[in-house]
Amino acid sequence: MKKLLVVICSVIILWQLLPTQSSNCADFKNLNDYIPVLMKETAIPGIAIAKITAGKVSLIKTFGFANIEQKKRVDENTLFNLASISKPIMGMALLKLVDEGKLILDQDINDYLSFQVDNPHLENEKITIRHLASHTSGIKDYYDIESFSLNKDSPISLAQHLKSLLTPEGELYNNGEYFMDKTPGTSRKYSNLSAGLAGHIVEEVTGLTLAQYSKQLLFPSLSMPQASWLLNDLELKNIAVPYEVEQCIPYFFICADTETVELNYIISKYFNPPFDNKEYLPYSHIGNPQYPDGGVRASIKEVSQMLVSVLNNEDNLGKQLLLDTSYQEMFSLQADESVSDSQRFFWRDRAGLTGHMGSDLGVFTALYFDIESKTGFVILMNRGMDTKGAFAMKQIATRLMSL
């Protein structure tokens, strides 16, 4: 599989810098009228949305196609790849293990690992779970679509993958290429590789893979019976087909250090709705050896119920999901404010809300909420993130939060 993307760290910057744009659908007040027109203008095959109000699901709607070729429509049980929304879900697994006394957030991760992770550029550094969960570990990002398997899970285990990148014996170690010359806790850099390492700690302390632990213990408590990290657990026909759009940017994440002038060029060159003569390009479902960084497949019904559990700190049986200390930890700032004034335990603040976005090949997702009012939204689409998709996401999010 060829590399189609610019290496990236955050999808949010592009969303924030999008210009105000007029649209043929702007006059439609009702979501049932508004969203189909917006989808046509911005070339989105399928969308599932939910609104949570005062800690309860107040709206679920679905539009368009999960599979264009088979004319299979999206419904509330259609599975979507959640992409990086998977990270804070994995964070809840870590916090549940803290509740059980199996993990300490500020303990050296090497106390839990069966192999040593040592930054060769530093002396006596200490990387903790808190650092991994706040992207301040000093471990660089790693994202390579050439490592993906198509329509099946990766044959490479998470442990094998991590050791290949982070230990001197690893074939991809390359003299510590994926370590920064930054003391843990002093600099924030979004890192899918750090998330992968955090997920492996779950595996080390439980004796189960993160996928097994989640399927047996985490997902049921969050009212997510279909959800899985692994394709082998699912029927591919039940997952929304990922699509890109031929005339759009072929897959962009925008890095935190990308020049504004470059962003303005991208926006002015490609952002010109309405979108005509579109052609959807389907992708295979992907299996990633670094799977804790994303890849949970779940339905809008499940994700909305998961958000209800998060907002109310209650599991599917009405019992406390996390102990008070861990629940407060999940929403506490995880780094010094000089490093990040918005990074929580895998969650992050944006525009007055807390949540996460996700983007992968043919996938774009968002989940944000206000913890005080217990109000939020979920948006899932089977289309890659670019300027048009980001415009649509921002418009729908704004409308949902105004309901």
Reported residue count of the chain is 403
pLDDT at 279: 82
Tell me the whole-structure pTM to 2 decimals.
0.88
Alpha-carbon distance 300 to 211, whole Å?
A: 20
Q: What domains can you pick out in the chain, each with its CATH number?
A: 12-402 (3.40.710.10)
CA gap 383, 360 in Å, rounded: 9
pLDDT for position 152:
97
Q: What is the pLDDT along the chain (403 residues), one digit of tens a residue?
A: 333 333 334 444 444 544 444 455 555 568 999 999 999 999 999 999 999 999 999 999 999 999 999 999 999 999 999 999 999 999 999 999 999 999 999 999 999 999 999 999 999 999 999 999 999 999 999 999 899 999 999 999 999 999 999 999 999 999 999 999 999 999 999 999 999 999 999 999 999 999 999 999 999 999 999 999 999 999 999 999 999 986 544 333 333 333 333 333 333 333 333 344 468 999 999 999 999 999 999 999 999 999 999 999 999 999 999 999 999 999 999 999 999 999 999 999 999 999 999 999 999 999 999 999 999 999 999 999 988 999 999 999 999 999 9
Which of 230, 378, 363, 360 shows the shortest CA–CA distance to 307?
378
User: What pLDDT is recorded for position 26?
Assistant: 53
